[in-house]
Amino acid sequence: MTIEEQIFERHTIDFSKLKPYGFKKSNNVYVFEKTIMNGAFKAIVLISKDGIKGDVYDIDTGDVYFAIRVDEMAIGYAGLVRTEYIDILKDICLKCTTSNVFLSRQTTRIASKLQQLYGDSPAFPWEKYPTFGVFKNPDSEKWYALVMSLEFEKLDKNKSGTVEVMNLKIDAKKIPELVEQNGIYPAYHMNKKYWITVVLNDSLDDETVLSLIAESHSFTLKKKKKTSAV
């Protein structure tokens, strides 16, 4: 993950704030430039719908200053350059973005829909994993969905990068067929006989995910007590 990705993770760019901040628009790309280290370097930040990129340039040579990207080199003078660049990124993030509870846009949409359907908001019970969110039925205190972010290769060795997923409880008879579908895997870190892991990267449409959540939610409903006939 790049420096830019780390700082802007779980944030959405508010494009209406870029020009007032000092960005200039060129061919659908917003460009911000600032000299650092007493004019010895120039930081250039590019923001578009595809994301955010940036580099630091040595003003004397015009070359990219790659030392800020290498952890082993980011000490001493290079560390100072890196710190000034990071401060620029953090200020842009603070003033030109909105923060998101979740990493994925699909997760954000789904969470909003669950609030509408069930009145449930996610809880984040683990200090060690502050981004892991649990949805539970308040009537029974049972979970019906667990949101996690993890390395995709933990689910699929042919995939890479960070992905947000949701664990759901499903009728055990359906699971062998479900895990054959794109975007659905045997449950990560839960009983694979009863749970599945759904990748929230739009591999599945929202309606499909919500139907799976509805089934998982049904397992949390309190069973009605049978009444004897009078």
Sign of the C-alpha dihedral computed for residues 97, 102, 107 and 112 taken in this order: negative
Q: What is the pLDDT of residues 210-222, one digit of tens each?
A: 999 999 999 999 7
Q: What is the mean pLDDT of residues 171-176?
A: 97
Which CATH topology does 105-218 take? Aspartate Aminotransferase, domain 1 (3.90.1150)
Nearest Cα neighbor of 43 from 97, 88, 79, 3 is 88
Is the pLDDT reported for residue 152 higher than 60? yes
- Partners of 134 in the β-ladder: 123, 146
Is the pLDDT reported for residue 225 higher than 70? no
Q: In which order are the strands placed within the sheet that holds 29-36?
A: 24-26, 29-36, 41-48, 51-58
Nearest Cα neighbor of 195 from 131, 122, 151, 144 is 144
Model confidence band, residue 230 (pLDDT cutoffs 50, 70, 90): very low
pLDDT of residue 20: 97
Domain layout of the chain by residue ranges: 3-99, 105-218
Report the greatest alpha carbon distance in the chain: 94
Q: What is the pLDDT of residues 186-209, one digit of tens each?
A: 999 999 999 999 999 999 999 999
CA-to-CA distance for 80 and 74, rounded, in angstroms?
A: 8
Model confidence band, residue 229 (pLDDT cutoffs 50, 70, 90): very low
Is the pLDDT reported for residue 227 higher than 50? no
Q: What is the pLDDT of residues 63-87, one digit of tens each?
A: 999 999 887 666 789 999 999 999 9
Is the pLDDT reported for residue 97 higher than 70? yes
